[in-house]
A and B are shown apart, each in its own frame.
Chain A
Amino acid sequence: MTQLVATVPATEKSSLPSHRLVRRPRILEAIAETAIKAVALLSILSVLLILFFVGKEALPVLTSAEVHKEVTVRTLFAAHAEAGYMWQPVSDEPKYNILPLFLGTLKVTFVALLVAVPLGVSAALYVSEFAGRRTKEIIKPAIELLAGVPSVVIGFFALVVLASWVQRVFGTEHRLNSIVAGVALAVAVVPIIFSVSEDAFRAVPGSYRSAALALGSTRSQVMLKVVVPAAAPGIAASIVLGFGRAIGETMIVVLATGNAAIFDGSFERSTRTVTATIAQELGEVVVGSAHYHVLFALGALLFLSTLTVNLGAERIVGRMRRRLGGGT
């Protein structure tokens, strides 16, 4: 926008009368400003509308007597007398226990972060601190290209290739399991963690490094004692963003988890995530049924949990930033 304002008078100075010189950019500016403001408001508005709609459709789980014949807030969480913690909505007696689904989401996300955080952060550290210009010019776009791989392609690869490989190497009980899904998910999460951490490392002022070197630190001391702590808030932010990506990802987990809502802590058995459940079941439910409202409640809960994590993380990152200074 600043460019627009600057160039218009410069090029038209000689040919136009002076009053247009002043007015025209202002009109343009006003239009541009309003348009941008409208776009920004529109995106906030759409988020609010989505939130309102999801909340509205989820509400009957709390209030509707019709829905309560099949499911109540208590049965969403409490174990069924015979079946235990079971998600089986299409049944003579529908069972809507959501704990196996949230456990599945947590397990897969945990594995994804376990793999993606060390990979992403250390790759970022290497690129910003050690790599020469040439290497950097190859590695950086290559990792960022990974972000452009459609998740359905990653999921498909996990389903066909990775799963067989994991089973051969680890001898897992189920071919599709939390480990396979988590590793596949990590592929989608690494580019996010990498680029945000890399920005954080790059934002550490060069004077910090120079000062540490001047005091006689070795290169690894500079890195571990100065650069990493200074960039810590940025790294933390990258992990939070990665977490958000992992927890919300759908296509990869639909394909790679096996979608069995098992309630146990095993990582080598199949699992079923919240997002996969919504994706696979919302298409066929009868609008307005208990099942329909429970799926919306799942969406609302998922949204609330990521929101809580994000807000909590923001506070922690803010505190780190104040204490450490520097960073992004």
Chain B
Amino acid sequence: MNRRTAIAALFLGFAACARSEQATTGTGKANVTIKGSDTMVILGQRWAENYMKLNPGMTIQVTGGGSGTGIAALINGSTDVCESSRPMKDKEKDEVQQKRGAPAVETKVALDAVAIYVNAKSPLQEISIPTLRKIYRAEAKNWKEAGGPDHAIVLYGRENNSGTYGYFKEHVLDGKDFAAATQTLAGTSAVANAVKGDVFGIGYGGIAYLEGVRALKVKKDDAAPAIAPTLETSQDGTYPISRFLYFYTAGPPTGSIKRFVEWVESAAGQKVIGDVGYYPLPKKEP
């Protein structure tokens, strides 16, 4: 009997602990989950680390999987915050409203230039959007057509749950399909790594993944000047394929989530962005 009471007490104790842990912050959850964009996963992790250092007792879990995965998780209610490298579609916003009973709320958190990666040994320096479109739609299959050596182009890209895939399809391919020969890799770092090992490869992805590859200058059309992806050209919009990175929540963020999002937007949070390799939001932007 004694033993049984002891066990019961123990269980009650655990339950109480679990209870009190949730209650510590008082104004919200002490456990926040963030899920989504692979482009943003290192950014999210760095934010979480820094924020947890400042706020002991908070736990922020960051996982990737792709913007589509994050959005699906937000719809299904399995994440608090969704990181996305593309704006949510109306259809997805409707689904959040339907399943979560609150509108999807968008917060712009950082700026990214979609870089066109080539191998460090490639002679190419610049490329125009129309040429890029031809290459990724299998209308141009040889580097000659882009001003390079006489050799077949090897295409690398992202899985179709990637926000970068969606962005590239919409802004570079005009919504048309990728060439079937595009090798789809899981994660931007995998794309950069593949291009690093392939002299005739080309890939695309976030600006923070330039390890071992070179980013081409990009021309809006054949007549336009070639612009390198930098902080300035992304902030003033002259680099033709720069984009915002987003946080999405179901309903406006509240409690601990709100404090985290506000910190991300603050000077301290925006400083982290530069360390990771992306660009902070322009000052005038809300």
Contacts and interface: CB of A to CB of B under 8 A. Distances in A.
Contacts of B68: 90, 284
Contacts of B183: 174, 176, 258-260, 270
A103 B181 CA distance: 14
A12 interface: no
B69 A284 contact: yes
A88 B161 contact: no
Interface in A82-124: 83, 86-92, 95, 100
B149 interface: no
Contacts of A87: 180
Contacts of A91: 169, 177
Interface string B166-200: 10010000011110111111100000001001100
Contacts of A263: 180
Interface in A54-96: 83, 86-92, 95
Given A90-B165, A175-B197, A280 B159 contact: yes
Interface in B102-146: none
Given A92-B175, A175-B197, A286-B95, A281 B160 contact: yes
Contacts of A270: 181, 183
B192 to A, nearest CB: 14
B65 interface: yes
Given A83-B177, A260-B183, A281-B159, 9 more contacts: A88-B160, A91-B169, A258-B184, A258-B185, A280-B161, A284-B65, A284-B68, A284-B72, A287-B76
Given A92-B175, A175-B197, A286-B95, A281 B181 contact: no
Provide the main secondary structure of the chain A interface. loop
A217 interface: no
Given A88-B178, A90-B166, A286-B72, A281 B184 contact: no
Contacts, number: 78
28 contacts: A86-B180, A88-B160, A88-B178, A90-B68, A90-B161, A90-B169, A91-B169, A173-B152, A175-B194, A175-B198, A176-B183, A176-B194, A254-B186, A258-B183, A260-B184, A263-B180, A269-B181, A270-B183, A272-B184, A280-B159, A283-B66, A284-B66, A284-B68, A284-B69, A284-B72, A284-B160, A285-B72, A286-B72
Nearest to B182: A260
A143 interface: no
Interface in B192-212: 194, 197-198
Given A175-B194, A259-B183, A283 B166 contact: no
Interface in A279-321: 280-281, 283-287
Nearest to B156: A258
B154 interface: yes
Contact of A260 (B72, B152, B169, B181): B181
B150 to A, nearest CB: 14
Given A92-B175, A173-B152, A175-B154, A262 B194 contact: no
A279 to B, nearest CB: 10
Nearest to A80: B177
